[in-house]
């Protein structure tokens, strides 16, 4: 599919950015916890796409395991989103959108070294990559302007 590492990196970056923007666009949904049915599938598709870029055909179980590790837990993400929405009705959805954007970008950033390493990257490596990806997202988007 992709013959060199720079092509893979570029395609993975594109998958991260598209997915992060898509998830952020969904986040302002006003009902707490309802977005788990919309944001999580976007994140799962992103992880699958990055796996495909690196030559892996992965199943839903593998994606869920990956998200559980690098996502810091979907429950944690949903609690943060719910707090935004409950604490700041209306405006909280937009704060949640920024959170979801950075979180999704971080998950994608962690998926890349996982598949690059032949699916042998440690949980600690993936967690560190997620945090770094969240920081990188601030520099790669107009949100920083």
Neighbouring C-beta atoms of residue 97, cutoff 10 Å: 21
Which residue positions in the chain have pLDDT lower than 70? Answer: 1-3, 30-35, 66-95, 140-145
The set of residues, in sequence order, having a beta carbon less than 8 Å from that of 74 and lying 6+ positions away, is 36, 40, 67, 68
Domain that holds residue 31: 5-144
Output the pLDDT for position 94.
64
Output the pLDDT for position 8.
92
Output the pLDDT for position 12.
92
**C-alpha distances in Å from residue 80, one per residue of 32, 33, 34, 35, 83:** 10, 10, 13, 12, 5
Output the pLDDT for position 15.
94
Number of domains in the chain: 1
Output the pLDDT for position 11.
93
Quick one: residue 58, left, alpha or beta (phi over 0 = left, psi -120 to 50 = alpha)?
A: beta
Output the pLDDT for position 40.
82
């Amino acid at each position: 599919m992709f013959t060199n590492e720079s092509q893979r990196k570029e395609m993975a970056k594109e998958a991260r950015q598209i997915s992060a923007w898509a998830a952020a666009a969904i986040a302002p949904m006003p009902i707490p916890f309802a977005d788990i049915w919309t944001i999580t599938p976007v994140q799962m598709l992103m992880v699958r796409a990055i796996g495909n870029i690196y030559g892996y055909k992965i199943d839903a179980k593998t994606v869920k395991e990956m998200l559980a590790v690098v996502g810091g837990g979907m429950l944690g993400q949903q609690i943060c989103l719910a707090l935004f929405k409950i604490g700041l009705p209306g405006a909280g959805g937009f704060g949640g959108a920024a959170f979801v954007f950075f979180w999704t970008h971080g998950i994608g950033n962690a998926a890349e070294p996982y598949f690059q390493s032949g699916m042998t990257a440690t949980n600690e490596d993936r967690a560190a990559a997620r945090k770094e990806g969240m920081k990188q997202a601030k520099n790669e988007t107009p949100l920083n302007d």
